[in-house]
């Protein structure tokens, strides 16, 4: 996501500096400047600096902030564009505010393709910080794709709810695939989703992604195992804590767990969708499984 946003920013005429320990010749060739230390990164940007973090939720965010913030000045803006837990973001905002640095929790949607061509941003934090970052975000977003959600934490909370809805939609499509394949007819799944992409009531990007994915990969070759980083588990805990009834999101989470044992085609379909919009892996991934356990720091 971060590299694709950087490429889009360069194309929009922005001066972009990225941090990389090992360098990115491919990005540098496209006009993205890279450095392996944060002092150099900060020195290359004019205040007020606008910095977008694209790192996994959890300790990695704090590690970057600890290394980065000593090189920043009051009035600079740091945005966490990952899927951090919103209570973690509230705590980080409070700490950076005391140093005079704006911290924005920047929920980012649109997948890898959106990062490259136009994303959707949901941003919480101090209004003054948002006003500084807003021109950058607007340039990198689709029309109407930038929303200031309000208080610190609200951007990541809105994105968390977004991901819960995404789960429900994914599994609804997965159930449809299961019915289409086992309903007693010899149906062309790719053709059906292509048809549904044109004028049907359920048309939309997820249906289009399913049509595109089926052109590139046979469903039966996909492991029936849906991997995830755990954000919607957090949402379920929020719902239980606040006694909010969310039966469809709850069922979608249970279905995700079930996918790891079921062997059903619906699980293959959900995995195909998630790969299409987020580049999520096919099958089990030990790194992501660890992130699922470590991504949230603050308890309810």
Number of H helices, E strands in the chain: 14, 7
Distances (CA, A) of 50 to 15, 134, 147: 11, 10, 17
Judged by DSSP in three states, 61 sits in helix
Catalytic one among 63, 99, 143, 159? 159
Q: How far apart are CA 80 and CA 78, in angstroms?
A: 7
Catalytic residue among 93, 134, 166, 231: 166
Instruction: Sheet with 50-53: list strands edge to edge.
Output: 50-53, 77-80, 102-109, 119-124, 141-150
Angle at 17 between CA 14 and CA 20, to 5 degrees: 150
CA distances from 291 to 84, 86, 135, 144, 294 (A): 11, 16, 32, 32, 5
Known catalytic residue at 166 = yes
The backbone torsions φ and ψ at residue 299, rounded to the nearest 5 degrees and listed phi first, read: -90, 155
Provide the annotated active-site residues. 159, 166
């Amino acid at each position: 996501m971060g590299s694709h946003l950087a490429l889009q920013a360069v194309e929009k005429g922005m001066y972009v500096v990225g941090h990389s320990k090992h360098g990115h010749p491919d990005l540098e060739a496209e006009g993205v400047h890279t450095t392996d230390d944060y002092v150099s990164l900060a020195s290359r940007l004019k205040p007020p600096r606008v910095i977008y973090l694209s790192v996994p939720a959890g300790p990695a965010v704090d590690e970057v902030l600890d290394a980065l913030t000593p090189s920043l000045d009051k009035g600079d803006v740091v945005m966490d564009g990952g899927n951090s837990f919103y209570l973690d973001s509230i705590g980080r905002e409070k700490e950076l505010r005391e140093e005079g640095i704006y911290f924005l929790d920047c929920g980012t949607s649109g997948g890898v393709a959106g990062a490259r061509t136009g994303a959707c941003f949901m941003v919480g934090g101090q209004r003054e910080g948002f006003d500084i970052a807003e021109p950058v975000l607007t340039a990198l977003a689709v029309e109407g794709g930038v929303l200031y959600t309000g208080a610190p934490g609200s951007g990541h909370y809105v994105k968390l709810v977004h991901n819960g809805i995404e789960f429900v939609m994914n599994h609804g499509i997965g159930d449809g695939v299961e019915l289409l394949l086992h309903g007693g007819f010899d149906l062309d799944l790719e053709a059906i989703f292509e048809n549904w992409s044109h004028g049907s009531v359920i048309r939309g990007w997820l249906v289009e992604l399913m049509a595109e994915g089926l052109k590139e990969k046979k469903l039966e070759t996909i492991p029936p195992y849906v991997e995830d980083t755990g954000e919607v588990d957090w949402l379920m805990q929020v719902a239980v804590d606040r006694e909010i009834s969310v039966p469809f999101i709850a069922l979608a989470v249970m279905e995700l767990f079930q996918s790891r044992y079921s062997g059903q085609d619906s699980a293959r379909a959900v995995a195909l969708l998630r790969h299409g919009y987020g580049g999520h892996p096919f099958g089990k991934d030990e790194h992501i499984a660890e992130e699922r356990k470590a991504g949230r720091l603050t308890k309810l």
